[in-house]
Amino acid sequence: MSALWSIEVVARGDRRVVLRVCAIHPDSGEFSDSPTFAFRLIYDPAYRYGAGLVREATGPLGDAVSLEQTVDDAFLAAHVDCFIARVAVSDLRNAPLDVAALRADIDRELSARGVRRDDGAAWSDAWQDRWDAFWDDPARLPAATYEIEVTEPRWIAHLAPGDRWESAAY
């Protein structure tokens, strides 16, 4: 699965972590304040690739929940409150992203530059360049701040300010 989000730890306290979350893929969707989404965000760095590209748990959260359980909606619905006490989403920027409007803007920009749709590869290459430029510009990406309170300090022990990772959380 492709990464949908880019996450950075802004701050961490005893039972609270503040994350800056940016959409990095058009399928990311809207920012969710669900505890399940928040759990998946903080879980990703607790289960990393180790030696020989074998997935391995790191720390208490990775030991408490298996990777398979993180994609089991029924499991998380029944157990997420054992880990997540509260989720607050704030400081939304460039959200929600209107992907159709973004595509239309690129079409208009290229047409205004004289690139024609019937130019085949020229249109396609120019269009892809503009699309990639959008997703490569952090100032244009949808972003939000997440404040996540956990039930136990150990659930965020693997996180430190400045940590960054990508996630396919949903």
Residue 55 confidence (pLDDT):
57
Dist CA 57 CA 63 (whole Å): 6
* Residue 24: pLDDT band with limits 50, 70, 90: very high
pLDDT in tens, 53-90: 555 667 899 889 988 899 999 999 999 999 999 999 99
State both tokens at 159. 């996180």
Q: Which residues of 134-152 are buried (b: 16+ CB within 10 A; e: fewer)?
A: eeeeeeebbbbbbbbbbee
Dist CA 80 CA 38 (whole Å): 9
DSSP H helical segments within the chain, as ranges? Answer: 35-43, 59-64, 67-70, 73-79, 99-112, 121-135
Dist CA 18 CA 11 (whole Å): 5
Dist CA 47 CA 57 (whole Å): 4
Mean pLDDT of 138-153: 97
